[in-house]
Structure 1
Amino acid sequence: MTITEPAQWEDLFTRDVDEQPVQFVRPADTDRPTWSVYEAAVYVGSVAAEWDGGRPLWRVQGNREAHRDLDDAIRCLRRPSSWTREREQVAAWARRLLADETLIAVDVETTGLENAYAVQIAAVDRRGTVVFNEYVQPNAPLEPAAVAVHGITPARLAQAPAFAELLPRLTNVFHGRVAVAYKMDFDRGVIERELLRHHGEAAAAEEWLARVRWEDAMVPYAVWKGLWSVKRGAYRNQPLGGPHDAVADARLLIVKLEQMAAAPSTSPW
């Protein structure tokens, strides 16, 4: 059942959120789009729908949050009591990163989603200034699904340098730095794959990677947003939301760090 179906707006309805049933009950003393929320017959909070010309906006009563997705409003209500403390820890982590003059935000666009090679590598400093941005000749096929995401075509890469040509400058930019990425294992893994192909041995690749301090922003950002998934038993990962251009996504990551570093309030919205 979707939130656009008429049955969704009845006085009493049930909706599965992360495979767990949630009961919605409209109070008897109102005809407004407001529902009390129950799980296993236990009251967990209230939500109210607002229209602003598009999809309904779901407000979680009791705080300042609003969500386009009703499921996210329920995930907000499911937060563990430790969330405030965990969010403060994330804020402190983000402040430490932004205070480090060596910080760079890194993003890599690739030939595909698995065992992929780089087609664009970018890094910006903590002020958003570009310190590295190059398209890369991958010497590997580009998957149509990847091209549909980032728009980098074989024609665009026809004159691009190979990774080996870029490696000396990449080394100068990365070594001795703190590199933060969104889903760090993916971006670091692409660079590792390029190094393995270049050097032909794992030891050389690991030695290069070890001279960078890697940080992942995906899990901290999920904690900061605080949308709890009972299915995963963890905060739900969020999309970065960038345009899938390596420079723009790296700059957006700096913006997200600045948001996380801001003094915690009762809500991140």
Structure 2
Amino acid sequence: MTIADPAQWQDLFTRTVDEQPVQFVRPADTDRPTWTTYEGDTYLGTVSAEPDGGRPLWRVQGIHEAHRELDDAIRAMRRPASWPREREEVARWAHRLLADDSILAVDVETTGLKNAYAVQIAAVDRRGAVVLNEYVQPDAVIEKAAVAVHGITPERVAKAPAFGELLPRLTDVLHGRAVVAYKADFDRGVLENELVRHHGGNTAAANEWLGRVRWEDAMVPYAVWRGLWSIKRGAYRNQPLDGPHDAVADAKLLFERLEQMAATVPAARR
């Protein structure tokens, strides 16, 4: 459907969500923007559009959730039966992580997405204190697409220290600590690129340095916690962190997401 106002949508239509057609049927006893949904002969649930400024919220009846995107409402109704248990496991994981006094949230802004180098590195502790915030002269091209995301131009980092100059402090901050990142394999990979270059191609030295940090990834657990099931991928959809792409602000936001997850652990099971 392409009509902006859901109240004007048809009583019967089909929408494809993650390559799977979903049939929408408006109940005969209402003219409100409410539809029951089916995949083939399988009933998924009922969704209703509620006004919320310029865009509707899609409320899923029966599970007391509202989603900005209609497709996400459908994904919520597609959750496997195992989701409540999986969500509780993730919540307990977040609770344990936040109870670790050594935990740091780390974020790295980069020159791009492939073979990337750092242009900003930040670490924030559990109390929200910034223990590291450094811009980095990457000695590499900063892609225009990356600048459009984080706003860090070559001019901004032209006089910033190189990674090698920051390495002693970075070592003091991270070694022996638990580090949580959003898509940790990416941030860890950026540091690996920097370390390999710093050590003249010596991957063993880079891996030894990285191995002295206990890495935790929050992206997949947060996807499970949100529980938006992609029938195409056969997995929960990864969610954007929705931060401003400033390393400090994103690290602080990551702790907020962990606190949201941890808050759903039943008190008796913590």
Deviation at 1:19, TM superposition (A): 0.2
Deviation string, structure 1 residues 87-116 (Cα, Å, up to 9, x no partner): 100011001110001100000000111101
Q: Secondary structure, in 3 states, of the residue corresponding to 1:263?
A: coil
Deviation string, structure 1 residues 40-77 (Cα, Å, up to 9, x no partner): 12111100011122111100001221011000000000
Q: Secondary structure, in 3 states, of the residue corresponding to 2:119?
A: strand
Compute the RMSD of aligned alpha carbons. Answer: 1.4
Deviation at 1:213, TM superposition (A): 0.5
CA contact (8 A) 1:76 1:227 kept: yes
Q: Secondary structure, in 3 states, of the residue corresponding to 2:53?
A: coil
Q: How does 1:220-231 map to 2 (within 5 A)?
A: 220-231=221-232
Structure 2 partner of 1:241:
242
Structure 1 partner of 2:194:
194
CA contact (8 A) 1:87 1:264 kept: no
Q: Secondary structure, in 3 states, of the residue corresponding to 2:113?
A: coil
Distance 2:107 2:118 in 1: 10
Q: Secondary structure, in 3 states, of the residue corresponding to 1:243?
A: coil
CA contact (8 A) 2:227 2:236 kept: yes
Q: Secondary structure, in 3 states, of the residue corresponding to 2:186?
A: helix
Instruction: Determine whether 1:18 maps to 2:18.
Output: yes
Structure 1 partner of 2:133:
133
Letter aligned with residue 191 of structure 1: L
- Deviating beyond 2 angstroms after TM superposition, the runs of 4 or more aligned structure 1 residues are 1-8
Q: How does 1:98-109 map to 2 (within 5 A)?
A: 98-109=98-109
Distance 1:3 1:214 in 2: 46
Q: Secondary structure, in 3 states, of the residue corresponding to 1:195?
A: helix
Structure 1 residues 152 and 246, CA gap change in structure 2 (3 angstroms) = same
Deviation string, structure 1 residues 154-210 (Cα, Å, up to 9, x no partner): 111121000000000000000000000000111000000000000120000000000
Q: Secondary structure, in 3 states, of the residue corresponding to 2:52?
A: coil
Distance 1:264 1:13 in 2: 39
Q: How does 1:112-261 map to 2 (within 5 A)?
A: 112-200=112-200, 201-261=202-262
Q: Secondary structure, in 3 states, of the residue corresponding to 2:207?
A: helix
Distance 2:151 2:59 in 1: 36
Identity of aligned residues (%): 77
CA contact (8 A) 1:75 1:228 kept: yes
Q: Secondary structure, in 3 states, of the residue corresponding to 1:51?
A: strand
Instruction: Determine whether 1:56 maps to 2:34.
Output: no
CA contact (8 A) 2:7 2:32 kept: no
Instruction: Determine whether 1:42 maps to 2:73.
Output: no
Deviation at 1:3, TM superposition (A): 5.8
Distance 1:100 1:47 in 2: 40
Structure 1 residues 71 and 165, CA gap change in structure 2 (3 angstroms) = same
Structure 1 residues 168 and 6, CA gap change in structure 2 (3 angstroms) = closer
Distance 2:52 2:207 in 1: 52
Letter aligned with residue 239 of structure 2: Q
TM-score (norm: length of structure 2): 0.95
Distance 2:179 2:63 in 1: 35
Distance 2:178 2:212 in 1: 9
TM-score (norm: length of structure 1): 0.96
Distance 1:6 1:218 in 2: 32
CA contact (8 A) 1:47 1:60 kept: yes
Structure 1 partner of 2:66:
66
Deviation at 1:128, TM superposition (A): 1.3
Please, which runs of 5 or more residues in structure 2 have no aligned partner? none
Q: Secondary structure, in 3 states, of the residue corresponding to 1:221?
A: helix
